[in-house]
Structure 1
Amino acid sequence: MALAIDLAQRGVASVVFESRAEGDRFSARTNMTNVRSMEHFRRWGIADALRENDPVSPRIQRDVAFVTRLNGHLIQHFPRAYEWSERLPVASEVAEWAPNEAIEKTLRARAAELPLIDVRFGHEVESFEQDDDGVTVHVTGPDGPRTFRGSYLVAADGSRSRLRGRILNVRLEGKANLARSFLWHLRAPGLAEHWKASPMVSMTLFYNEDRSCDSLVPQSGEDQWAYFCSPVPDHIDGDDWEACRDMLFRAVGAEFEVEPLEGGTFITHSMQAPRYDFGRVLLAGDAAHLVSPMGGFGMNIGIGDAADLGWKLGALVQGWGGPLLLASYSIERGEAARFILDGCERNQAVGASQLVRDGIEDPGPRGDAVRAEVAEDIRVQKARQFKRMGGQLGYRYSSSPIILRDGVEEPAADFEDYVPSAAPGNRAPHHWLKDGSSLYDHIGQGFTLLVLDDIETGPLRRAAAARGVPLDVVAPGEPDRAALHDLYLAPATLLRSDHHVAWRGHELGDVDRLLDVVTGWSAWSATVTP
């Protein structure tokens, strides 16, 4: 849906086939739309709509709490881990903690506003064939089988992708079977009454003598919840509701009225496809990569895929994009996925099983001392899962053939701490302009040249116009110009619509060569001109 929205805003039509009926319940594990995804939602005009669609009670604080049990002791508390009341200097948006119900509602509503998107519920792609000119897709739906023809096909059909596995015959690579997990969506109208150890929060993790690695997340109002566990204890069958319910009762410290809505076991993997482009057929989202949920990156990597792929498919359909764009999609998003998968694997490796100490539930000074020790361990080893920006904003496209690097050596990307960099391939450093707008609000649908000094832009403008390449030029005034100079360290920087730096330099020399590379007609050369 995100990709269709991105394409429609570029004037490119698409059809979305969804196997579910329009009214079917879909309880995904998604809750967090992180800072980077919200920047894309802002670009698609839906960031504020997502906040408005959040169905969770306003009484529930957007915090993370570690407790022994709901009626036990508070161990560690991260206030506003999932919400900021003030804007961030390093980003155009803040994260939004809202369950999948709100995310899907927001995307569907935006798609319905855009006439270039044709969403067909109850339709499933059975097979496809591709040739030099396009892709023929065979679909079954309420009215029987039909055939559709398009320029490209994007398979975003989930972790068990049949199009990837059975038709393309692509196997995922990486670390399979990281953990056996379960997730149950449930209705429990009286559960809120049992919150004693902490306020009601967005995520409550239970660290007690059971060492069960379980957590509780609100889904709607104060009566619908998600109960999650990873890894599941060896003696528990995650498909056995009664066994999982008894675990939940132990975690809460009381029995209460509860109704299972749906749920069961799933396996956590950390894997991705060896590449995401196969001729005119592309993989995106969980069809391309599977990530541990420890960190909330699963959906967010897919949103990043849509942002990267949208402008490239648009360029190809509109005729100004070259053949290297699809290969660059695999290279860029593959690098981003590897970075995020590695960080989430490290999150998965540290939980209640590793951090709980004997005596954590003891009353009095002895228990207080143990809980203080565990709280410090959580602060050191788990904070990156909830508060750090490196995984969200710090990935870069260091191997892309459509990025012109300038020879500047950079330290390795850090999953925990984000350090803005305008070196080509990085997400462009953000800045709030003196008029209150975000720098990103001025980035166009094609390329945007950020000009911070007197520099002749005419040749690039004319060359882009001759090729049909959309190009905007942004030249901020003072004091924004001085602040941006400190961030970008060059008088001119070429930005892509997905906010990544394509080139920066002190003069616009061979503009045809520059456009050849960034539009995918010619690969970047290893020779760097100072």
Structure 2
Amino acid sequence: MSVRQDVPPVAISGAGPVGMALAIDLALRGIPSVLFEKRSEEERIVARANMTNVRSMEHFRRWGIADALRDNDPVSTEVQRDVAFVTRLSGHEILRFPRAYEWSERLPIASEVAEWAPNEAIEKTLRDRVRSLPIIDLRFDSEVLSFEQDDQGVTVTVDGPNGEESHTAQYLVVAEGSRSKLRREGLNVRMEGHPNLARSFLWHIYAPGLAELWKATEMSSMLLFYNEDRAGDSLVPQSGTDHWAYFASPVPDGVDGDDWEACRAMLFRAIGEEFEVEPLAGGTFITHSIQAPRYDFGRVLLIGDSAHMVSPMGGFGMNIGIGDAADLGWKLAAVLDGWGGPALIPSYSIERGEAARFILKGCESNQAVGPRELVRDGIEEDGPIGDAVRAQVAEDIKIQKARQFKRMGGQLGYRYSSSPVIFRDGTDQPAPSFEDYVPSSAPGNRAPHHWLKDGSSLYDHLGNGFTLLVLGDLDAGELVRLAESRGVPLQVLTVEEPDLAELTMLYETGAALIRSDHHVAWRGDALPDDLDRLLDVITGSVSWA
């Protein structure tokens, strides 16, 4: 086994969307990385990811790929970006949430809108960006088998095209997905929370004639079947109008999700007639709501599904991982560049663990309410009686499922209230809501967004380090000089009218220090007297006491 010393400072095991997102974030900060991916370049996986939500698209915008994802979306324009509830495809429409996954117009509260595009488009978009950044080394057919770490770095054993090789890096990030061998065997980490929420299945199918069978409603990004079978099944277009994903959670009693014939029979009942269909890949998986007790283990870090597993009811699986990459990227870069302190990497576990707990709890609530709970007898009847039942179920859906498909609290409302690298101001805030998003500039929150009068987003003007947003009469000169002497990247953004009044109302103070991942690190009307302590806290040199 040969030993190579030319591996970049960060090795990433797994080149799925989250691993690639981290590599991109690092590269844009000048930090090289190597991605080891055990799949071949041509191999595709059966993935549940379809929605890149608003928060993730804000990071995609920062990484220069938000519009590229829209361009790569293979789903036909005939498919409305709606969520539709029907009894059966040959039956009755119950309710639609129009444009639930893609807004036609920009949102005032965010720099981006969500994009509903299947995993194929997400991976292509990220791979293209990875290949555009020469300091990322992407290696397929390469599996990290094991690792050893010490105070100086991590040695990884990789089974690649040339056999087993040993590589050294300063950090190893495990982005292998929910079945991570390195998490289980290398770190011996056990997930905690609520396992075995549901037995589910997902099948990718080829059915070119299915598009002609949409009778109850227009073709939609997500079609959910609410009928007297109460099977918890749904249909999602994947490309053109011929490839589809058929999903069920929980799988009805007596149905084997690995048995295609049984699942096809369910699909035929949901559609209301038989048609030509070919299974491409699929089977059973177990829905969990669990996470690792921490994500940092010395120089080895967990990210994405290797760190947490969430119910798919809400579309947060990949999106939590994108948030992980945005948080970990700047912290790894800070430590490697020499200005990040010893509390910075551990703060990744604390911040993202808090965000994951918030999201996992919300998705558990979504999982608990479906057709088994909401369908009423008579929902499939024709005539006035059936119409009345469907109208009542539609009202129930609006109340019980809007947070899953329409509300923004889960995407934008989490905050880092327990982080040791946030300089707090004593603000007493209500608990964040998974349903309603209320912008707040209190330290730890996502910085309130604003579209400037020149058409740009406030976030477009934030740097790769810290940005001091100045809204009042504040002299930032001493802070800038001190940050420069310590090698801390800091820029000043001074706002003038016509944007000043609106931003002052949003931020409620004369200044705010915003991190590159858009979270507020400090705010106030005047800078603290002890500027060294401010920089110590936000760079992880000391912990907030």
Per the normalisation by structure 2, the TM-score is 0.96
> For each residue in 1:151-170, what CA deviation from the matched residue of structure 2 results, as whole angstroms up to 9, or x when unmatched?
11100111011111101000
Q: What whole-Å deviation, never above 9, does each CA across 1:486-516 have from its counterpart, x for those lacking one? A: 0111111100000000000121121111000
Q: Which residue of 1 aligns with 2:269?
A: 250
Q: Which amino acid aligns with 1:321?
A: G
2:422 paired with 1:412: no
Q: Supply the distance in 2 between the matched residues of 1:387 and 1:369 (Cα, whole angstroms).
A: 24
Q: Deviations over 1:395-425 (max 9, x none)?
A: 0000000001101111100000000000000
Measured in 1, the distance between the counterparts of 2:329 and 2:409 equals: 24
Q: Which structure 2 segments of 5+ residues have no match?
A: 1-19
Residue by residue, what CA displacement relative to the aligned partner does 1:98-151 show, whole Å, maximum 9, x if unpaired? 000000000000000001100001100011111111111110011111111111
Deviation per CA, 1:335-385, whole angstroms, max 9, x where unpaired?
000000000000000000110010000010000011011000000000110
- Cα distance in 2, alignment partners of residues 288 and 341 from structure 1: 12
Structure 2 partner of 1:272: 291
2:351 maps to amino acid: E
Matching residue of 2:467: 448
What residue identity is the alignment partner of 2:300?
Answer: V
Extract structure 1 runs of 4+ deviating beyond 3 A: none
Establish whether residue 24 from structure 1 lines up as the match of residue 48 from structure 2.
Answer: no
**Pairing 1:97-496 to 2, within 5 Å after superposition:** 97-496=116-515
CA distance in 2, matches of 1:241, 1:182: 10
1:479, distance to aligned residue in structure 2 (A): 1.6
Which whole-Å CA distance do the structure 1 matches of 2:203 and 2:82 have between them?
21
Shift of residue 481 of structure 1? 1.0
Distance 1:193 1:484 in 2: 50
Show the counterpart of 1:513: 533
Secondary structure at 1:342 match in 2: helix
User: Kindly, what percent of the aligned residue pairs are identical?
Assistant: 75
CA drift of 1:176 comes to 0.6
After superposition, give the CA deviation of every residue in 1:85-109 in whole Å (9 maximum; x if it has no partner): 1100000000000000000000000
Question: What SS is found at the alignment partner of 1:15?
Answer: strand
User: Contact 2:472–2:525 at 8 Å: present in 1 too?
Assistant: no
Aligned partners of 2:85 and 2:94 also within 8 Å: yes
Q: State whether residues 491 and 506 of structure 1, in contact with CA within 8 Å, keep that contact through their aligned partners in structure 2.
A: yes
TM-score (structure 1 length as normaliser) = 0.99
State the AA in 2 paired with 1:279: G
CA-CA distance at 1:476 after TM superposition: 1.1
3-state secondary structure, aligned to 1:490: coil
Matched residue of 1:6: which SS? helix
Distance in 1, matches of 2:191 and 2:46, equals 24
CA contact (8 A) 1:27 1:101 kept: no
Residues 154 and 282 of structure 1 are in contact (CA less than 8 Å); yes or no, is this contact kept in structure 2? yes
SS at match of 2:327: helix
RMSD: 0.5
Distance (whole Å) between structure 2 residues aligned to residue 18 and residue 29 of structure 1? 19
1: CA distance, partners of 2:44 / 2:360:
28
Q: Alignment partner of 2:68: what SS?
A: helix
Give the superposition deviation at 1:454. Answer: 1.5
Q: Which amino acid aligns with 1:516?
A: D
Secondary structure at the residue paired with 1:110? helix
Count of aligned pairs between the two proteins: 525
